[in-house]
Every structure is written in structure tokens, then in C-alpha cells.
Chain A
Amino acid sequence: MSTNKRWVLAKRPEGVPRVADFLLEESVLPELQDGQALIRVDHISVDPGMRSRLSGDSYAPALELGATIESAGIGKVIKSTNPKIKDGALVWGSFGWQTHLLTDGRGVQALDPNFYEGKIAPTAAIGLFGIPGLTAFFGMFEIGKVRGGNTVLVSSAAGTVGATAGQIAKIQGCTVVGLAGSEAKCAYLKEIGFDTAINYKTTGDLTEACKAAAPKGYDIYFDNVGGETLDAAILNMRRHGRIVVSGQISEYNTQTPRGIRHTLPFITQRLRMEGLVVYDHSVQFDEARRQMAEWVNEGRLSYREEIIEGIENTPEAFIGLFKGDSFGRRLVHVN
């Protein structure tokens, strides 16, 4: 018998979520059925993209009230009667905000021990080698069509998606400018090779700052923020520029999104803007992981994690994402 702690959606948040919107439930897991496996979850992720599913707004399917908050996780198989899942194996999947789960194996994948060794920790399976890193990879190559010599602007550049996108652009021979919200984050961007880092909180006019950093403009803007930042980028795009829409964190907590003001540059500069759903590229995931692992082992690509201790602190860890207080891939250590 195992006890599970899980965070469920208690009520739909208005604006920035509050701890009271979530409820920590404790329950005894039922006995293992034939074909099932019991997983002890070690680390879970908190993801800004989950915000829209909490309120059930217009486009993403809403999470039901009382349902476990979804997230990526890694864990260890405690006991298995499923031939595809081995006792003691390290696994990852969409485990949600909880400490244990019973699974029939669907969506559970074993971590290859040969892959997660040396410079690559197992937690990277839900960071650099999970959805955030893959988003950066396919956003840069498939939508950004990155080429050597391009000038690239990245927002939320100190986050896992942004930092990976920027480093990939550097590896391809680009000039890269990153936007981040603190001096420490900007220093980190310089450390991992960004040519210029702009602290958007202190820079004043963002459009001018982006222009000063790249007077000839940008070929690629990798958008994680939306809103005013996106407008600043649009005004600085070069002809035939590409805007990769990976996320728009500035819009997630509002009932009345700001959107953008500047649309004419789409015509005058022949811009292309495209939203990315990374799962569209799932057949190439392994290929991308192999390439990124090679770069990590060569010391050309790095990633940063921020581990919060304790399942009870998960909602605060999530809420902090919207205040910009996370720095790197934010994970919660639950077991």
C-alpha cells in the first residue's frame, strides 16, 4: 500500500493563480492490478503553458476541477507487473503534480542509462531533452529556419526554452541578443555565449534597446513573451524575418490579452510568424535529442535547473513563474 499526495485544481484562477486555487489531497493507492506499474515520482515540472488550461479559456481544453494538475515528471518504477516496464527502471512521462502513480504504461518511457550519464543528469529528460529543449530546437530549425550569419532575438532568454534557442543559434553561427528580467540572468546569458543581454526591466524603451543591440535588425525573433515585447521585435525585424511563436507568458493571466499593435511590418518587411506546437515534430524527437546531447558533451550547450524542495511547495513554484522569479528549468523534488 502506498500513499499518494497530489495537487488538484480546486477552483479556476482569475488573473495570476493563487495557492488557494489548488488543493493537496492525500489518498491510499489501490492494489496493483495485472499489467500495471507503481511509479515513485522524483521530480516534476511547473510549466507556464499550464496556465491557460486552468481557466478553461477559449482555445486550450480545460483541466477539470478536481483533476490532478498535469506536468512532466521523472521517477522510479517501484513494482511492475507490466512486461514493458522493468522494476527499478528510471522513467519519465506526463506524471502530474503527485508523488506516486499507478499506470498501465501508456505514455511512460524508460530513460536510457547510457544517455543520462556524464554531463547529462536524468532531470534533463524533462528539461533540455523534454518539451522545453525540443521546443527550442524545432522552433529554431523548422520555423526560424536558422542560418549562419543571422541576427537572432530571444525573449525569456534565461528560461530553458530561451537559453537553449539562443545557444543553438550561436552554434549555427548567429549573432544572438537575449532579453531577461534581472542582472543575474543577463550575466548568465553572457556566460553561455549570448552576444548581448538586455534587462527589459531596467532598459527603458524596449524597441530602442532592441534596435541599439542590432541596428540592422533581426532575422529571427523567438517569442516566449508576446504583447509589448512582440511589438518591439516586430518593429525591429529585417526583411523576410521569421517570428517563432513558442509562448506568450505575458498574456496567460489576463482575460483581455493585449495582443499586438504593429501589423504593417508583416507586409513591408514580408515577415512570417508561425506558432509552434512541438508535438508536430515528434517523429524527429530522438534525432534532436542525439544532436543536443552531442553539443552538451562537446561543451557547446548547457542548461540550468532550479530545484524546489517538497511537493507542498509546488503551487508557489508555479505561481513564481509569472513573476519572473524562476531562473532556468524549474523542477520540484517530490521524493
Chain B
Amino acid sequence: MTNLTGHEIRLKSRPVGMPTADNFEYAKAAVPQPKDGEVIVRNIWMSVDPYMRGRMVDRESYVPPFQIGQALQGGAVGQVISAGKGATLAVGDYVQHMLGWREYAVVGPASMPQKIDPKLAPVQSFLGALGMPGMTAYAGLFRIGAFKAGDTVFVSAASGAVGSIVCQLAKAHGAYVVGSAGSDEKCQWLVKEAKIDKAINYKKETDLDKAVGAAFPKGIDVYFENVGGKHLEAALNHMRIFGRIAVCGMIEQYNATTPTPGPWNIIMTIPKSLRIEGFVVSNHFDLLPKFHQEMGKLIAEGKMKWQESVTEGLQNAPKAFLGLFTGENFGKALVKIGPDKAI
């Protein structure tokens, strides 16, 4: 053990339906010595993401479930304060890794550390636009959505960490882009800052299907799905022939205790020759160099904007996580859990 002690957030119980603060525990933990090849990272930022809800359920999925009594995991950015023998990272390096939800992380190769360049963009961007959400947007739009010039694109949760990047990547390639979001403020940002063609405030629309139809008189070529439910039904109704639906997330479904009905119109896949495909970003890391090249260029040209929703303090991380499901966040949800400079 080092003589360091840090805090961490543990899973106290498995949520049923919507999670509550009671499912989490804020606890103190001693920090072990780094083994050969490991480093100790003082975390500065951590990410909360909807997919973490799935890991709270004890079932087979694309990532193993969280264990009760153990610290949660997720994307984080920090600075190396101590390095074990043979570690490829050095003290002072900024690093992005998968051991969030704690102040100090002992990071080995299994936590997929990546050294980041703080001069390129603010370090927390590596949890958003330049990190997994940005890469998810890129892989989903171009590989799964098979986007091509001239396509029309519909994006749900369009002001979110993934959606906002999808919108701007598609715009950068000349697409007609419509996004849906849950407040006028988000919709205004989408049109004014992200420069998409139309934004639909789905909370105000009494008939989402009609609103989507009106926004796409010629139909949708690519639907980037983050929400599920009524959004998916509306998209299915207005897809064009040979349309592609890239299923990235279905946040409306994550807290459902029984499966919700729908989409009732899944049969549309036949007459329109539609393709619906779910994906997980970790299968598409071969696209990372292309992604970095394109995003770096767009950011340098000032053509990529994003919003951050920052919660202060590790103890408030559960609250930030719960906010994902109530639509309170605007843009990438982050938790600031340490000083900008750890050493």
C-alpha cells in the first residue's frame, strides 16, 4: 500500500427501474502500490454515460456487469503521479483510461490507458468529442450508417455527447440534418451553433411522427438512434428505401422493468429494404486514426462545437449519472473530481 487514501463510488445495490442515489456508496479506499507496468493516476475528470446503466444489471452484455461492493468503472482523465517499474507512461503524463469513479486509479494495460496531448484541446475533451462519444459518432455515422454525400440524416438525442458530433460530422459532409432534443435551449443550440437544418423539441410535439415527416419531405437515409421507442417508430415510418438505422443507444429503454411495446412498424424493413444495425464502439477502433485526423481538422477550423455539463466533486457523481435519464444534462456529462494539475 502507498500511504495514499482516496475516495471511490461503489455499487451498493442493483437498481430496478430508474436508479436512485441509494444504489451508490461513497467510500474511502487505500491506494495500492503500482505493480510492474502500472501507474498511479490522480483523476481530474470522469465521464458518466448512459451505457453504465446496462453494466449495473447482472447479465451478459458487451461489457461485464459491475459487482456490488466494488468501485464502478468508466472513462476518466488524469495525471500520472507515480509509475511502477517498466511502465510506458511517465510521471506528469496526462492519460485517458477506464478507471473513473475514484480519485486515484492504479492503471495497468487492462484499463486501456492512452496518453493525451493537453495542447490539442482541453483534457476533458478526450472524454467527449475527442474520446469515446466522438468515436462512437464517427463509427456509427460512417461505418454502420454507411453515410454518403447527399444523404438526409436524422439524429435523436441530438444535443448529447454523441448526437451533437454526429450532427456536425454529417453537416461537414454536406448532409441535410435534423435532430431531436428535449428543450428549446438545446434546439436553439443545435440550429445556431451546431448549424443543423432543423431541430425538433420532442417534448413539445404532440405527434412526433408528424413532426419527423414534416422535417423530411423526401424521407430519411440515415437515422442515428440514441433513444428508441417513439423515435424509432417515427423514423421507421419516414425512412427512404435502402435506409440505414445505426442503433447506438436506446436511453428510453434502459430503465424499463418490462419490455415496452414497439416498434409496431418493424415490418417497414421489408418494403423499404431497411437495415437496422446495433453497434458498440469497441469493435471499430481500427477507425481511430481516421477519426483523429478528421476531428482534429474540424476542431482546428472551429467547425466542431460541443457542450459540457459539469458536476463538481466525486461525491456528486451519482447525481450526474441520474441526470442522464431525466434529460437535465446538455452535452457531455462530466464530473470534475480533482485539480487541473495533480503534481
Contacts and interface: CB of A to CB of B under 8 A. Distances in A.
A257 B265 contact: yes
Interface string B246-272: 011110011000011111111111111
Interface string B177-213: 0000000000000000000000000000000000000
B176 interface: no
Contact of B276 (A239, A262, A266): A266
Contact of A263 (B60, B248, B250, B265): B250
A267 B267 contact: no
B275 A277 contact: no
Nearest to A230: B266
B264 A267 contact: no
Given A261-B262, A268-B54, A245 B277 contact: no
B175 interface: no
B274 interface: yes
Given A259-B264, A259-B265, A259-B266, A275 B271 contact: yes
B61 interface: yes
A19 interface: no
Interface in B34-78: 54, 60-62
A275 B272 contact: yes
B266 A274 contact: no
Interface string A268-290: 11111111110010000000000
A162 B64 CA distance: 36
Contact of A60 (B61, B271, B274): B271
Nearest to B241: A277
A280 to B, nearest CB: 6
Contact of A262 (B62, B237, B259, B269): B259
B342 to A, nearest CB: 35
A23 B265 CA distance: 31
Interface string A226-266: 10001000000001000001111001000011111111111
Contact of A259 (B247, B250, B263, B276): B263
Given A267-B248, A271-B277, A260 B263 contact: yes
A272 B264 contact: no
B277 A272 contact: yes
B247 A274 contact: no
A277 B62 contact: no
A230 B266 CA distance: 10
Nearest to B237: A58
A261 B259 contact: yes
Interface string A51-84: 0000000111000000000000000000000000
Contacts of A272: 275-278
B270 A263 contact: no
A271 B245 CA distance: 12
A258 B260 contact: no
Nearest to B256: A264
A248 B283 CA distance: 31
Contacts of A264: 54, 250, 253-254
Nearest to A261: B259
Interface residues of B, number: 36
A267 B269 contact: no
B275 A273 contact: yes
B267 A274 contact: no
Given A264-B250, A266-B247, A259 B267 contact: yes
Contacts of A58: 237
B320 interface: no
B325 interface: no
A179 B78 CA distance: 54
Given A251-B267, A259-B262, A275 B274 contact: yes
Given A266-B247, A267-B249, A274-B276, A261 B265 contact: no
Given A270-B62, A271-B277, A263 B232 contact: yes
Contacts of A262: 259
Interface in B156-191: none
A36 B18 CA distance: 70
B279 interface: yes
B20 interface: no
Contacts of B253: 263-264
Contacts of A247: 270
A59 B237 CA distance: 9
B298 to A, nearest CB: 27
Given A266-B278, A267-B247, A275 B259 contact: no
A257 B267 contact: yes
Given A259-B263, A268-B62, A277 B247 contact: no
Instruction: Identify the interface centre among B228, B250, B269, B283: most chain A CB within 10 Å of its CB.
Output: B269
Contacts of A276: 270, 273
B280 interface: yes
29 contacts: A59-B271, A230-B266, A245-B269, A248-B267, A256-B264, A257-B264, A257-B266, A258-B261, A258-B264, A259-B264, A259-B266, A261-B259, A263-B232, A263-B253, A264-B54, A265-B278, A266-B276, A266-B277, A266-B278, A268-B62, A268-B278, A270-B277, A272-B277, A274-B275, A274-B276, A275-B269, A275-B273, A276-B270, A280-B273
Given A59-B267, A268-B60, A276-B273, 7 more contacts: A226-B267, A248-B270, A257-B264, A257-B266, A267-B279, A272-B277, A274-B276
Q: Report, nearest first, the 5 A-B pairs whose CB atoms are least far apart.
A: A266-B278, A275-B269, A259-B264, A261-B259, A267-B278
Interface of B: 54, 60-62, 228, 232, 237, 247-250, 253-254, 259-280, 283
